Chains A and B, each alone.
Chain A
Amino acid sequence: GAVVSQHPSWVICKSGTSVKIECRSLDFQATTMFWYRQFPKQSLMLMATSNEGSKATYEQGVEKDKFLINHASLTLSTLTVTSAHPEDSSFYICSARDSRDGYTFGSGTRLTVV
């Protein structure tokens, strides 16, 4: 089946620094990828839709300048959390649409900002 690789799986960073999370579709091309955020015991909240070669579409309430998304190729999208603060600590998950299997998710990245 389709595989989406997300890296890193966990990261700890100091407040004020930036963190980049990568999402790769390994065996298919993904013109569109999605970035979610998940708080403990809560469901996934869509942050933005990442489109290859164009600007991402952000959901209402999500700060574009804080969560920078780049989708430079058909197999790679990156999410950069800029000037991270403790309230940005969360579980971030990407997904991509695969016509065979629906939406395939990465394994997630646990971000802790100290």
Chain B
Amino acid sequence: ELKVEQNPLFLSMQEGKNYTIYCNYSTTSDRLYWYRQDPGKSLESLFVLLSNGAVKQEGRLMASLDTKARLSTLHITAAVHDLSATYFCAARDYQLIWGAGTKLIIKP
């Protein structure tokens, strides 16, 4: 049974700092998704990682996938307040299996 774990679950950081969110999954899944959710809103797709070693970047966010380690990371560079949100990773079995989310608060 595929399980997905994220850490940390909560992160408070200052603007301008760098940090990484980790997503571990328990069984083979060579497709990994990252989504963003603002309070009371739905989920916005950020990245789809398709293969081992995949790296994708959008603005201050960069996601990577290591299928051998069953690990994906979401790296935030020089954080800004607008990136405050909850970030979810999800791996695919027959449907998406989600992590619990990382609530990110970026203080001005």
Q: Do A and B come from one complex?
A: no
Q: Give chain B's interface residues, CB within 8 Å of chain A.
A: none
Q: Point out residues on A near B: beta carbons under 8 Å.
A: none
